Amino acid sequence: MKWLMVAIIVGSTVLADLLQSFEMKRHGEVEVRDLHPSRVGRMLTRWAQRGLLVLAVFFMAISFFAFMKLLSVADLSFAVPVTAASVVIETILARLLLKEKVSLMRWAGACCVACGVALLAV
């Protein structure tokens, strides 16, 4: 049960972030003026019509509820390092699928963050 929840959390977090990043890049850079309260409603309506963004939010919800379930069967000190593992997996997939240029410095940074989050949970 514990490891099934871990797989669901990591899988849905990775999918949600990849879909969000992919779709927001396709959407193009959000203009600062679109963040004005009088225009933000129109922008959100446009986002809600993008199927992949809606799917990303759906995966985030799955990840959230699976995390809640995991906390009921495992300690927080076990559950949090799982989030740390997803940082490294997502960096690898961002390089392979999103074609981002991940420099050595970025790899080092991602690994430091993953180790750091794991240590915070000790």
Partner 1 sequence: MTPGRMVLEDATAKGVSHRRVDFKTKVLTAVVVLTNVLGNFSLSWGMKHLPTTFGNSPLAYIQTILSPWVLLGTTLLVLWLLSRMTLLSWADLSYVLPVTSIGYVLTAVLGKYFFGEQITWQRWLGTFAIMTGMILVGLTTPNTTAASQAGDEA
Neighbours of 15 (CB within 10 A): 19
Q: How far is the CB of 70 from partner 1 (least distance, A)?
A: 16
Length of the chain: 122
Q: How far is the CB of 50 from partner 1 (least distance, A)?
A: 10
Q: How far is the CB of 106 from partner 1 (least distance, A)?
A: 5
Which of these, 75, 93, 72, lies nearest to 10 by C-alpha position?
A: 93
Distances (CA, A) of 1 to 8, 11, 64, 72: 11, 15, 16, 11
Residues that bind partner 1 (CB under 8 A): 17-18, 20-21, 24-30, 32, 35, 44, 46-47, 53, 57, 60, 87, 90-91, 94-95, 98-103, 105-106, 108-122
Q: How far is the CB of 15 from partner 1 (least distance, A)?
A: 12
The residue among 12 and 91 lying less far from partner 1, judged by its C-beta, is 91
Three-state DSSP string of 52-109: HHHHHHHHHHHHHHHHHHHHHHCCHHHHHHHHHHHHHHHHHHHHHCCCCCCCHHHHHH
The residue among 3 and 29 lying less far from partner 1, judged by its C-beta, is 29
